[in-house]
Structure 1
Amino acid sequence: MPSSPDTPAQTSSDSGTFAPSQLYAAAKMYYEEDATQAQVAQKLRVSRATVSRLLSQARRQGIVRIEVRPPDLSDTGDLAGSLAEAIGLQRVYLSAPLPAPTPAKPTVEVMGSFLAPAVSRALTEVGLVAGDVLLVSSGRTVYEVAQFDLERIPGVLVVPTVGGNDQPEGWYQTNEITRLISGKLGGRPNYLFAPALPGPDLYDTLRADPSIQRVLDLWPKARCALMGVGAPPLLRDDIPQFVPTTSASLRAAVGDVCSRFYDRSGARVDFPGGERLIAVELAVLQQLPVGIAVAVGGEKVAPILAGARAGYFNRLVTDPATARQLLESA
C-alpha cells in the first residue's frame, strides 16, 4: 500500500508522536524563518494538520518556548495614563528610568537630574504667564530639581509655601529654593523671612508684619504649586528641626506636603505647637488649579496615594519604578 503523505514525519501513526528532528525542523521554519504552515507542510511533505500537531508537540516538549510579556508601559506612556486614572490624578509625568541597578534609595542628586526634565514638562503644560503665582515647597527632591535647567517662564511670581530661614540645611530653607527656581524660570522671587515654627510671641509679631502677610496673601491666589512629598515622619532620617518627632500624634502620619502632615485617609495630623506653623494650609492646596507633586521611592508610595486621594495635588512627577509600585498598591 502506498505510504501516506504524513509518513516521513511520523514515527508512530497511532500515537501521533514525532521524531525530535522533525519537531525542530518544523518549529525552526515556522518561528525563526517566518514560513507559513502551508510552506512547512510542503517542505516536510506532510499535511497542514500535521504541521499544527508538530508545532503543538514542539511547544509541549520545550523545543519551542513562547514568552508572553506585558508591554513596557514606561515606553508607551500607558503606565502614566493608567496610574493617573487609578489614583485620580489629572496627569502623571514619568522621568527616564533611574540608572541600573536602581539603588533601594537613589541619591537625591541622581533623582534631581532625572526628574528635572519631567518637572519642566509639567510646569510648561500648566501654561503659566508673567504675573501668575507659583508656590514651591521645601524638601530635598525639590531642592535638587532646582539645581538643573527648567524651561523659562519669565515674570512668574515664585513664592515659598513654608517658612524656614532658621533651618541649617539648604533643602529646608524655602527662600533658597525660591531663589534657585526663580533663577531657572526667569521668574520673580518672593521671600518669606520667617522661621517655620516661631514661638508664640514671635508668631503674633510675624503675622502682623506687612511683608510677611503679603506673601501669605499670595498663597490662595496661586495657579500652581510644586511640592515634594515627605515619607512617614517617624521613619525618616532627615526631617526639619521644628518637627517634634517624639510627638505621639505623628505616629498616625503617613507623610506630608508643605510640612503639613496627614494620615492614610488624607486627614490632617497636627502636632504640639502646629497651630503656629507658618505654612500653606492643606485646604488651600486642595483649591489650587494645579498641584504638582514630585516624589520617588518605595517609602513615598503610601504618602503619594493618600495625598492624591485627598486632593492635595492633582499631578505627579515620578520615575517608572515608583509608578509601577503605586499602580500595584492602588
Structure 2
Amino acid sequence: MGSRDDLALSGMRTREDLMRAAAAMYYLEDHTMEAVARRLGQSRSSVSRLLKAARETGVVRIEVRDLDTVDVLSRELEDELGVPSQVVRVREPVTDAERLAQVARYTASVLPEWFRDGMTMGVAWGTTIDAIIAHLADHPLTGATVVQLNGSVTPTMAGVAVGAEQMGAIAQAFNAEMIPFPVPAFFDFPRTRQMMWQERSVQQVLSRQGAADLALFGIGAIHSPVPSHVYASGYLDEPDRRMLASQDVVGDVCTVFLRADGSWRDIAINTRASGPTPLELQRIPRRVAVVAAPAKAVALLAALHASTITELVLDSGTARAVLHEARRRGGNAGRAHAGATLR
C-alpha cells in the first residue's frame, strides 16, 4: 500500500473499521499477522483478536468443504432438477436437529451475500427460518426491507409471535424496515379472506410482497421428523387434517398446500390460506428454498413442480434423498423452472 493508504488507515476510528481492514490484509492480501499489526499500529495479539471477531461476526467466512461430495451432488441436482443448488456437507449419522442447525448456520452465513442495500426480502415464517435466525449475525444495510409473506395468527392468537417475531429478528439483524402481515394463517371462510384482501392496508402489504427482490422460505411436509410450525402449532384442526389427507396433500410452501405433482388450485383449504400462491410467488425473481430433512424429498419435488423455487440450499443427506426420489419418478421435476443463480 502507498502513503495514501497509510493515511486512510491512520484515520480509522472504530473497532469495526480495524476489524475489516485487518481481515482484508490478512485473508485477501496475504500479509502476515505481524505486518498487519505494523500497518494498523496494533499489537499482534490485538490483530489476532480482530481476526477472531471478524470470523465470529461473519465478516470472514471460512469453509472446509468436501468438494468430491458436495460439488458432485450440486451438479447432479442441477442436472436432474434444473435449479442451482448449494449443498451443505453433513456427516451421517446425524440427528434431525443437528442437520437443520448445520444447514441453517450455512444459510445465515451466506444470506448477507444475497440481501443487499435497497432490496426487499420476503420471508415465510416457519421452523427452518427460526433455525436460520439463531445463527444470523448483524449485517446492517441501508434502505432494505423485510416483508412477511404469510399470516401467522391462530384462533388463539398464539401465532402472532411466530411470524412477527421472526420478521422482527431478521429486520433487526439487517437494520431493515419490517413489514408484518397481521392476518390469520388460515381464515375460517374463503369469503372472509376475499373481503380482507380488499382492505387498503392489506393491499399495501400484498403489493410489497409482490415487489420483493428475494424470497426465503422452508418447505413444509406432512410427514417430517422436524415438524413444521403449521402442522405442530395449532394452525390446523382435525377436519383440516382429514381434508389434507383425502386430497393427497404432501406439503406446503408459504402455507399453500401442494400435491406430489405440484397441483394446488383445487385444494379447498388454499382458498382460506394467507400465503402467496405459486403463481403469486413467481412474481419474485429469486426464490430460495432451504431444506434440511430427507423426509421432505417428496414435498420439495412438489414445490419444484409448482415452479415456486429458483434455488436450493440443502444438506447432503437430503440432496441424495431428493435425487433418489426424482430419478424414481423419472426426474426433471424443476427442469422448466430454473431461475437466478446464487451470487
Q: CA deviation at 1:270?
A: 4.6
Residues 293 and 313 in structure 1, CA contact (< 8 A), matched pair in contact too = yes
Which residue in the other structure is 1:228 paired with? Answer: 218
* Equivalent position SS for 2:197: helix
CA distance in 1, matches of 2:325, 2:269: 34
Which residue in the other structure is 2:205 paired with? Answer: 215
Which residue in the other structure is 1:315 paired with? Answer: 311
Match of 1:102 among 81, 94, 100: 94
In structure 2, do the counterparts of structure 1 residues 80 and 292 end up closer, same or farther at CA, with 3 Å as the change threshold?
same
Residues 140 and 171 in structure 1, CA contact (< 8 A), matched pair in contact too = no
Residues 122-201 of structure 1 aligned to structure 2 (within 5 Å): 122-126=110-114, 128-150=115-137, 152=139, 154=141, 155-166=143-154, 173-200=162-189
Match of 1:277 among 273, 279, 283: 273
Residues 7-26 of structure 1 aligned to structure 2 (within 5 Å): none
Q: How many residue pairs are counted as aligned between the two chains?
A: 252
Which residue in the other structure is 2:16 paired with? Answer: none
* Equivalent position SS for 1:173: helix
CA distance in 2, matches of 1:118, 1:140: 16
Instruction: Report whether the alignment pairs 1:294 with 2:284.
Output: no
CA distance in 2, matches of 1:250, 1:73: 43
Residues 135 and 159 in structure 1, CA contact (< 8 A), matched pair in contact too = yes
Residue by residue over 1:18-48, the C-alpha shift from the partner in whole angstroms, topping out at 9 and shown as x without a partner, is: xxxxxxxxxxxxxxxxxxxxxxxxxxxxxxx
Moved more, 265-274 or 141-150: 265-274
CA distance in 2, matches of 1:207, 1:76: 44
CA distance in 2, matches of 1:138, 1:191: 11
Which residue in the other structure is 1:324 paired with? Answer: 320
Residues 234 and 251 in structure 1, CA contact (< 8 A), matched pair in contact too = no
Provide the TM-score with structure 1 as the length reference. Answer: 0.67
Residues 161 and 174 in structure 1, CA contact (< 8 A), matched pair in contact too = no
Residues 288 and 312 in structure 2, CA contact (< 8 A), matched pair in contact too = yes
Which residue in the other structure is 1:245 paired with? Answer: 241
Residues 146 and 177 in structure 1, CA contact (< 8 A), matched pair in contact too = yes
* Higher RCO (CA-CA < 8 Å; seq separation 6+): 2
CA distance in 2, matches of 1:289, 1:179: 23
Residues 90 and 99 in structure 2, CA contact (< 8 A), matched pair in contact too = no
* Equivalent position SS for 2:171: helix
* Equivalent position SS for 1:288: coil
Q: Percent identity?
A: 23
Unaligned runs of 5+ in 1: 1-71
Unaligned runs of 5+ in 2: 1-65, 327-343
In structure 2, do the counterparts of structure 1 residues 283 and 147 end up closer, same or farther at CA, with 3 Å as the change threshold?
same
Match of 1:116 among 104, 127, 132: 104
Residue by residue over 1:175-201, the C-alpha shift from the partner in whole angstroms, topping out at 9 and shown as x without a partner, is: 221112112233221111111223447
Residues 108 and 135 in structure 2, CA contact (< 8 A), matched pair in contact too = no
CA distance in 1, matches of 2:159, 2:137: 19
Which residue in the other structure is 1:83 paired with? Answer: 77
Q: CA deviation at 1:206?
A: 3.3
Amino acid at match of 1:102: V
CA distance in 1, matches of 2:67, 2:132: 24
Q: Which has the larger radius of gyration?
A: 1
Q: CA RMSD in A?
A: 2.9
Moved more, 166-175 or 214-223: 166-175
CA distance in 2, matches of 1:299, 1:269: 24
